[in-house]
Amino acid sequence: MRALRAADPWFDFSEWRKVVDSVRRSVESKQTSELIDIVRKSDKYEVVRAGKLIEIRDTELGWLRHGWVYPSLVNLYRRCARQLYIEVSRITDGKPLLVTRPQLEAMVRGILVHEEWRKRFAIGETEVELVSEALKVRGVADEVARSVGLVVEVKSGYGFDDVAVAVQAKLYAIMAEEMGLMDAVAARVVSPRGVFEPALRSDLAASYVQRVRIVIEDALNNREPPPRLSPSVRSRCETCPYRLKDCATLKSAGTIFDWLESRGFQVRRPQRTLLSYTSSSS
């Protein structure tokens, strides 16, 4: 699926990329304790304990308990629905989330890059709280630039999931439109890879909200969790902080397609291999 298409930047993109690359190099060179200090100073996270895995609380996710979905959770859903289930369960049980050193670097990069965006590149209002009563979605847009009719989603890394980011940006545009903030709202994703606009329909974005909502509701109601990742993408488990803890102790059956179908979604399953190998010795 092509979820993003290139868009013309309205700011100095090469300068922006230099800033992001310089932040990345600086973050990679820091000690874990220095990274934790930066996280501690941000409003977004509270550091509970610093060990091999860092324990944090995300202070912006309190509305989960009341059935609201945050656009940023689409990314976690796309990485692993089971991990989303685990994190929601932890939040509602009052337990901290677990973070590895690479995740800590990504968090700090996000904090510092967003600071730079606000100080040097934004032309509109930053950190704008948006809500859609119709979709029961809420979140904080990085920027709402009314003068050019844009909501802006800033990405601090190169390795993001195009679909998750497109859904996220599209949802911010839907929310800004529903709130009547601008006459015509377009979304832009600003990343070191380039500037993109989401190329997906509103109903597809809404369908992702529904998937995320079902995982959240299942976690809140202690229903069966989504299955483990399929073998083709299980390499993601190697970097998951819950691999040896929560994930190992939860029940697991079937595939994500079985799980989605059991929740009423029609899914297109990937085709099994069409050609099977036969040897042709002669």
Sheet holding 54-58, edge to edge: 45-50, 54-58, 97-99
Least separation in angstroms between residue 222's CB and ligand SF4 is 17
Least separation in angstroms between residue 172's CB and ligand SF4 is 26
| Region binding ligand SF4 by CB under 6 A among candidate stretches 23-31, 91-99, 156-164, 235-243 | 235-243
Query: Is 228 a binder of ligand SF4 (CB under 6 A)?
Result: yes
| Region binding ligand SF4 by CB under 6 A among candidate stretches 60-68, 103-111, 161-169, 228-236 | 228-236
Strands (E) across the chain are located at 4-6, 45-50, 54-58, 97-99, 125-132, 137-145, 150-154, 186-191, 194-198
Instruction: Count CA atoms within 13 Å of residue 39 on its CB side.
Output: 29
**In contact, 57 and 45? CB cutoff 8 Å:** yes
| Region binding ligand SF4 by CB under 6 A among candidate stretches 77-85, 155-163, 191-199, 209-217 | 77-85
- 3-state DSSP assignment of residue 2: coil
**Residues near ligand SF4 (CB under 6 A), total:** 12
Strands 186-191 and 150-154, sheet pairing: parallel
Query: Is 236 a binder of ligand SF4 (CB under 6 A)?
Result: yes
Q: Which of 171, 229, 256, 259 binds ligand SF4 (CB under 6 A)?
A: 229
Nearest CA to 20 out of 197, 144, 118, 156 is that of 156
Least separation in angstroms between residue 33's CB and ligand SF4 is 26
**In contact, 160 and 64? CB cutoff 8 Å:** no
Q: Which of 16, 45, 242, 259 binds ligand SF4 (CB under 6 A)?
A: 242
For ligand SF4, the closer of residues 134 and 248 by Cβ is 248
Output the CA–CA distances (angstroms, integers) from residue 200 to 75, 118, 174, in the order listed: 16, 27, 12
Least separation in angstroms between residue 244's CB and ligand SF4 is 8
Query: Is 83 a binder of ligand SF4 (CB under 6 A)?
Result: yes
Query: Is 118 a binder of ligand SF4 (CB under 6 A)?
Result: no
**In contact, 226 and 256? CB cutoff 8 Å:** yes
Residues that bind ligand SF4 (CB under 6 A): 80, 82-83, 86, 228-229, 236-237, 240, 242-243, 247
